[in-house]
């Protein structure tokens, strides 16, 4: 029993990384497979960090976290109209927490593995790096910097979920041979550390040319960006932009200053922005996408249908898209077929207040089969050009910065968002309908619609930016959609209160898992904050 408690304790469970360092999924033959070694090395641990099915649209992540919670709370997914619809699901959140702190993707079924223990893997990388002779460290520093960028990205998202989390002391056993209860760190201070760390990494990638050994090894192990220094620079700068805008409602002066530095210096701080290309931009070439392995055979059909999440969201389709004849509708939704076998005449979403009986669901549109349901090629989306350009549009609109205009960035982001959903449709080799990409003329006409056009006062324009970004995130990026909805209040969805006392509205954060409450004595320092109504620090009062 004592050993069981020790393993659950966050301060020491990370020691598992040394013996579980390899990627569980079979990598393409081109890459070195960490599974084929029993000795952890820095470069193989780095590949293990990349193998993250919390980043990919994996069944477990979507079925237990993104669809029934994040997506349902902000209505990128049609929520079940039940009394307990806003109650946190305890076991999935516990798994989410564990998947950040310790490796758990060691099973043989790559359809259901989840996280990769990014914290544990990186702590082991730190230990191995510290033990290297000084003259060998330049061969591995690029792995340390890239790995830390991935860790900081996931850390920011954990703060977005929970608020205060253990960080600096987490994994102490592997680093110091000391068993301890990792202390929770103040979320605002830790977010600040994330932003400082990303800036340091960005500057390192700008000013450093790795030697030949490091370049060859990094190219072989980096199956996310194929060893491209340019892409790593763009990724780091772009997620830094994301998290600066995330704090911009509560620390506006700092966000404005640092965002201006980024946007005014595209040579020094290049971004994942599609290089200004709209309708013809190719997400597969420019965006940071984690592809599925070639032997991955699952789809999201079960993740959607097991909880009846396939129903088209009411506000998304009926209120945002149909009134403007959005050209994405055929790519995002199926009209659906009634029980008698006749197709519905139009795209129509079930009203949010209607119970989801099996029969009635056939009378309404559902998410598209080719693009979402049965697409085994759906990538994980680390950062994309549409998101970056929506962020730029917000910054230009709010602060009048140099480096572009709000209207240009907004319209470019929408063009790219349309191209992006076509890309998701097009990468599925098994198409269930034949569709062509909306033409430039079609999109241009769409952007002149009074609802879509970049007109109105500043608040109206910001509302359009935030609503369109939420729409772009859709079901696959419900994590980001929920965070942005909590930050901005857009889109202005109708939240129907539940009748369960204490759970009438969606939560502001996830509660800490029961295992952390039970076994980490440092929990006492955050017990008073551990309520569903406590706000993440970047949320406006």
Gap between the Cα atoms of 53 and 117, Å rounded: 11
pLDDT tens, position by position, 505-541: 999 999 999 999 999 999 999 999 999 999 999 998 7
pLDDT tens, position by position, 5-50: 333 333 333 333 333 333 334 443 333 433 344 578 999 999 999 9
**Do residues 323 and 286 touch, judged by C-beta distance below 8 A?**
no
CATH architecture of 42-296+375-488: Alpha Horseshoe (1.25)
Q: What is the mean pLDDT of residues 480-488?
A: 98
Give the position of tokens 């020491």: 12
**54: exposed, middle or buried (C-beta count within 10 Å: 0-12, 13-18, 19+)?**
buried
The pLDDT-based confidence of 199 (bands split at 50, 70, 90) is very high
Mean pLDDT of the chain: 90
Gap between the Cα atoms of 51 and 293, Å rounded: 10
Backbone angles phi, psi at 315, to 5 degrees: -65, -40
pLDDT confidence of residue 178: 54
pLDDT confidence of residue 133: 97
Q: Distance of alpha carbon 8 from its chain centroid, rounded?
A: 26
Which uninterrupted H or E stretch holds 325? Answer: none
Selection from 34, 29, 48, 37 nearest residue 113 by Cα: 48
pLDDT tens, position by position, 255-268: 999 999 999 999 99
**Do residues 160 and 536 touch, judged by C-beta distance below 8 A?**
yes
Residue 346 has pLDDT above 70, yes or no: yes
**Do residues 232 and 203 touch, judged by C-beta distance below 8 A?**
no
The pLDDT-based confidence of 465 (bands split at 50, 70, 90) is very high
Q: Which residues contact 43 (CB under 8 A, 6 or more apart)?
A: 32, 140, 143, 217, 218, 220, 221
pLDDT tens, position by position, 299-322: 999 999 999 999 999 999 999 999
SS3 248: coil
Q: What are the residue ranges spanned by the domains of the chain? A: 42-296+375-488
pLDDT confidence of residue 33: 39
Q: What is the mean pLDDT of residues 115-142?
A: 94
Percentage of the chain lying above the pLDDT 90 cut: 81
pLDDT confidence of residue 503: 95
Q: What is the mean pLDDT of residues 351-358?
A: 75
pLDDT tens, position by position, 216-230: 999 999 999 999 999
pLDDT confidence of residue 93: 96
Gap between the Cα atoms of 25 and 5, Å rounded: 29
Percentage of the chain lying above the pLDDT 70 cut: 88
Which stretch, 82-91, 289-298, 436-445, has highest mean pLDDT?
436-445
The pLDDT-based confidence of 353 (bands split at 50, 70, 90) is confident
Strand partners, 184: 166
Q: What is the mean pLDDT of residues 142-152?
A: 98
Q: What is the mean pLDDT of residues 459-474?
A: 98
Maximum alpha-carbon separation in the chain: 73
pLDDT confidence of residue 331: 98
pLDDT confidence of residue 493: 96
Give the position of tokens 């998290």: 243
The pLDDT-based confidence of 345 (bands split at 50, 70, 90) is very high
pLDDT confidence of residue 40: 83
Cα–Cα separations (whole angstroms), residue 441 to 177, 389, 444, 446, 535? 63, 21, 5, 9, 44
Give the position of tokens 């990370």: 14
Residue 184 is encoded by which pair of tokens?
């929770």
């Amino acid at each position: 029993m004592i050993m069981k408690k020790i393993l659950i304790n966050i301060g020491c469970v990370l020691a598992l990384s040394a013996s579980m360092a390899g990627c569980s999924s079979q990598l393409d033959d081109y890459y070195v497979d960490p599974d084929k070694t029993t000795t952890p090395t820095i470069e193989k641990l780095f590949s293990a960090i990349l193998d993250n099915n919390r980043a990919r649209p994996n069944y477990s992540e979507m079925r237990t976290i993104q669809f029934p919670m994040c997506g349902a709370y902000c209505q990128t997914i049609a929520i079940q109209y039940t009394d307990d619809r806003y109650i946190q699901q305890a076991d999935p959140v516990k798994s989410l927490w564990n998947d950040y702190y310790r490796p758990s993707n060691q099973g043989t079924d790559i359809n259901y593995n989840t996280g990769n223990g990014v914290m544990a893997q990186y702590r082991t990388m730190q230990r191995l790096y510290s033990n290297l002779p000084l003259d060998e460290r330049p061969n591995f520093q690029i792995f340390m910097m890239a790995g830390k960028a991935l860790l900081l990205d996931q850390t920011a998202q954990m703060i977005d979920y929970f608020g205060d989390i253990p960080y600096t002391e987490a994994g102490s056993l592997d680093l110091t041979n000391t068993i301890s209860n990792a202390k929770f760190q103040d979320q605002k201070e830790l977010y600040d550390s994330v932003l400082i760390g990303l800036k340091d990494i960005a500057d390192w990638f700008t000013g450093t040319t790795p030697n030949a050994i490091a370049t060859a090894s990094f190219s072989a192990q980096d199956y996310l960006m194929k060893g491209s220094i340019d892409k790593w620079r763009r990724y780091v700068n772009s997620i830094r932009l994301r998290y600066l805008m995330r704090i911009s409602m509560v620390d506006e002066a700092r966000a404005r200053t640092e965002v201006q530095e980024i946007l005014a210096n595209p040579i020094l701080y290049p971004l994942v922005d599609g290089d200004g290309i709209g309708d013809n931009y190719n997400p597969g070439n420019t965006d940071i996408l984690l592809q599925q392995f070639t032997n991955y055979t699952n789809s999201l059909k079960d993740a959607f249908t097991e909880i009846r999440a396939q129903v088209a969201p009411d506000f998304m389709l009926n209120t945002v898209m149909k009134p403007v004849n959005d050209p994405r509708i055929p790519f995002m939704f199926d009209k659906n077929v009634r029980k008698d076998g006749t197709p519905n005449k139009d795209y129509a979403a079930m009203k949010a207040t209607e119970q989801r009986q099996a029969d009635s669901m056939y009378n309404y549109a559902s998410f598209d089969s080719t693009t979402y349901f049965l697409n085994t090629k759906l990538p994980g989306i680390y950062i994309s050009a549409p998101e970056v350009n929506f962020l730029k549009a917000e910054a230009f609109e709010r602060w009048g910065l140099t480096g572009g205009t709000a209207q240009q960035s907004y319209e470019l982001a929408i063009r790219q968002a349309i191209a992006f959903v076509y890309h998701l449709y097009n990468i599925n080799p098994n198409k269930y309908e034949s569709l062509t990409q909306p033409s430039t003329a079609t999109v241009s006409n769409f952007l002149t619609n009074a609802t879509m056009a970049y007109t109105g006062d500043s608040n109206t324009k910001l509302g359009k930016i935030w609503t369109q970004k939420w729409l772009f995130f859709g079901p696959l990026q419900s994590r980001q959609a929920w965070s942005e909805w909590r930050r901005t209040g857009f889109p202005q969805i109708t939240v129907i209160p539940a009748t369960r006392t204490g759970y009438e509205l969606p939560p502001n954060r996830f509660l800490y898992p029961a295992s952390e409450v039970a076994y980490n004595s440092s929990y006492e320092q955050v017990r008073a904050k551990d309520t569903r109504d406590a706000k993440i620090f970047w949320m406006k009062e």
